[in-house]
Amino acid sequence: MDTIRKERIVAVIHGNRFVREKIAQSLRDCATFSEVLIFPRLSTSTTELKIIRPGVLILDVTTQNDMADLRLASASFPHLSIVVWGLPLSEQSIIQYAKHGVAGYVTSEDSATQLVEAAEGAYRGELPNPKVAGMLNRYISNFRPRVSVKEPDVPDHSCHKLKPRGQSISSLTSRETDVIELISEGLSNKEIARILSVEISTVKNHVHSILTKFQVDRRYMAAAHYRSHDFRQASS
């Protein structure tokens, strides 16, 4: 199995067989993923998943062990794009999951189409839906330095992933600034390339440079950092 194929695999973790089969079928109908795999529990599937190396993991968070599973996924697969399914759409819940590097959010009331869109967006590193992105933006905009208290049994690398800690906005080139502004508006790489009249590969290079400078690993984190800086500049 080659690397590209591995990256285009999505794994679904859900305890209900009917639900996970339904989710899997919706994902198989889209062209983004080459293979969809289903598992009843994460705790008994980590070894197999490390071999398969999926690009996206859809994790059921309606169980009592949701945070334990999320910590396990974050620790076992640090470069995996995680989409949580079944969470309440509240700012407290969103921030709690975002601290563990979650890339996509789907409520139990969302449609199958919205779930597929969340998985595809997470795979491409795009912003979550506008409501979730707004919550994350507000969190980072209001962020103030404080004493960090380590949560028990939480790996150090998974804590406070939302806190931007890289270079300032001024380190961006003029073209990178154009790109991050469009990312902040929720545009995809393809849409940005069309607007700026450049190749998609060029946009990807700019995105990679922006993430590196901001020292974040998600587009929405970079966008939130940029918006936070822009807000402070406008208020000063």
Is residue 169 included in any domain, yes or no?
A: yes
Residues 30 and 110 in one domain: yes
Residues 115 and 33 in one domain: yes
Residues 173 and 79 in one domain: no
Backbone angles phi, psi at 212, to 5 degrees: -65, -45
Residues 50 and 112 in one domain: yes
Note the pLDDT of residue 2: 39
pLDDT, one tens digit for every residue, the chain (236 residues)? 333 344 688 999 988 888 888 888 889 888 888 889 999 988 888 888 888 888 899 988 887 677 888 888 888 887 788 898 887 777 777 777 777 778 888 877 788 888 888 888 888 877 666 667 677 767 666 654 443 434 444 344 333 444 445 556 678 888 998 898 888 877 888 888 888 888 888 898 898 888 888 888 778 788 877 877 653 444 44
Query: How many independent structural domains does the chain possess?
Result: 2
CATH of residue 42: 3.40.50.2300
Residues 225 and 124 in one domain: no
Which residues, in sequence order, are CB contacts of 222 under 8 Å at separation 6+?
180, 183, 210, 211, 214, 216
Chain segment 50-84, per-residue pLDDT in tens: 888 888 999 888 876 778 888 888 888 877 888 98
Residues 22 and 118 in one domain: yes
Is residue 142 included in any domain, yes or no?
A: no
Is residue 200 included in any domain, yes or no?
A: yes
Boundary residue ending a domain (112, 134, 156) = 134
Residues 122 and 169 in one domain: no
Is residue 149 included in any domain, yes or no?
A: no
| Predicted TM-score of the model (pTM) | 0.57
Q: Which domain holds residue 17?
A: 3-134
Q: Which helix (H) or strand (E) holds 12?
A: strand 9-13
| Residue 217, token pair as written in the block | 């690993």
Note the pLDDT of residue 235: 41
Which residues, in sequence order, are CB contacts of 163 under 8 Å at separation 6+?
140, 143
Note the pLDDT of residue 214: 85
Residues 22 and 97 in one domain: yes
Is residue 148 included in any domain, yes or no?
A: no
Residues 26 and 120 in one domain: yes
Q: What is the DSSP string of 75-121?
A: HH-TTSEEEEES----HHHHHHHHTTTEEEEE-TTS-HHHHHHHHHH
Residues 127 and 171 in one domain: no
The span from the CA of 70 to the CA of 66, in Å, is 6
Note the pLDDT of residue 4: 37
CATH of residue 179: 1.10.10.10
| Residue 31, token pair as written in the block | 């062209």
Residues 199 and 90 in one domain: no
H helix runs in 142-218, sequence order = 174-184, 189-196, 200-214
Residues 126 and 169 in one domain: no
Is residue 223 included in any domain, yes or no?
A: yes
